[in-house]
Amino acid sequence: MTRAPTLGIWLMIAAVFSFAVQDGFSRYLAETYNTQMVVMVRYWVFAAFVIVLALRRPEGLAAIKSTKLHWHVVRAVLLVAEICVMVYAYTLIGLIQALAIFTICPLFVVAMSGPVLGERMSLKRWLAVAIGCVGVLVILRPGAGVFTWAALLPVASAFMFALYSVLTRLTTRGEPFFAAFFWPPVIGFVLSTIIGLPHWQSVAPFDWVYLMAYAAVCVISNWLLQKTYEVAEASVVQPFAYFQIVFVTVIGIVIYGEVLRPEVAIGAAIVVLAGLYALTQARKGTPA
């Protein structure tokens, strides 16, 4: 039950602003250093954060007990891979285009809800998914002579994050949410360290400031998102998650000199509208 919808909306806006800032740091650091090392440092701080949260839980270690640890391992692998792919995409095609394509993610969640969660899919929600795919095609413009393989990276990233999200819903059935929140960063810490340490590079002194700021913003954004869902229902706050594309566009233009091309703006608008339409169907009680 929604307890504070207005607060939840502002927390969601703050969360997606933090995610946008995080994306901005991601592009700079991954262009300067390798993606694996940047993601590894991010996970070091994120894992430390959730461990501190776990130690402060009144129920103690019971907060992280899970009978679905195998699914948490799968989720952790998906999340590490998704972050690496998306950060790498930022360095190749820029923040604006990459995130514009990534906005297809909620519609992937809708499409996966049937086969993974056993939910019923209505014709209207399938229509929303199809329209969203059209929006992505408008952005990609295959056959126009400007398409590159790198543009498929955000599509792959969106697919992995959607599967991660659906599996999160699956693992939280019958279990407290905190276990599902705790295990991916802890397992991801191990995975990213194994992958990242062999690629360690010397970091310029001032770049440590950027690296630590990046990791701190990662923690803040995830904390804000957790608080959002604690005070408000997802259906109330989810439309405001699309503010992230606005914030990222501003950062891309102001900081990195990127250009918002008309087809990217139009395609992103189509995807967002399709996502909002799917959300309204869910709120009306239309079968998933």
10-residue averages of pLDDT along the chain (288 residues): 73 90 93 93 92 88 86 93 93 90 84 73 74 79 64 92 85 80 93 94 91 92 82 72 88 91 86 78 56
**Where in the sequence is the domain holding 86, given as residue range(s)?**
5-283
Q: Number of folded domains in the chain?
A: 1
On whether residue 205 sits in a domain, the answer given is: yes
pLDDT value, residue 193: 96
Asked if the structure places residue 149 within a domain, the reply is: yes
Per-residue model confidence (pLDDT) at position 1? 45
What b-and-e string marks burial along 11-24, b requiring 16 or more CB atoms within 10 Å of the CB?
Answer: bbbbbbbbbbbbbb
pTM given for the model: 0.84
Tell the burial category of 276 from Cβ atoms under 10 Å away from its Cβ (0-12, 13-18, 19+): middle
Residue 178 lies in a domain: yes
What's the confidence (pLDDT) of residue 225?
Answer: 82
Asked whether residue 288 is assigned to any structural domain, the reply reads: no
What is the model's pLDDT at position 287?
Answer: 47
State the residue for tokens 């998704």: 82
Tell me, yes or no, whether 153 lies in a domain. Answer: yes
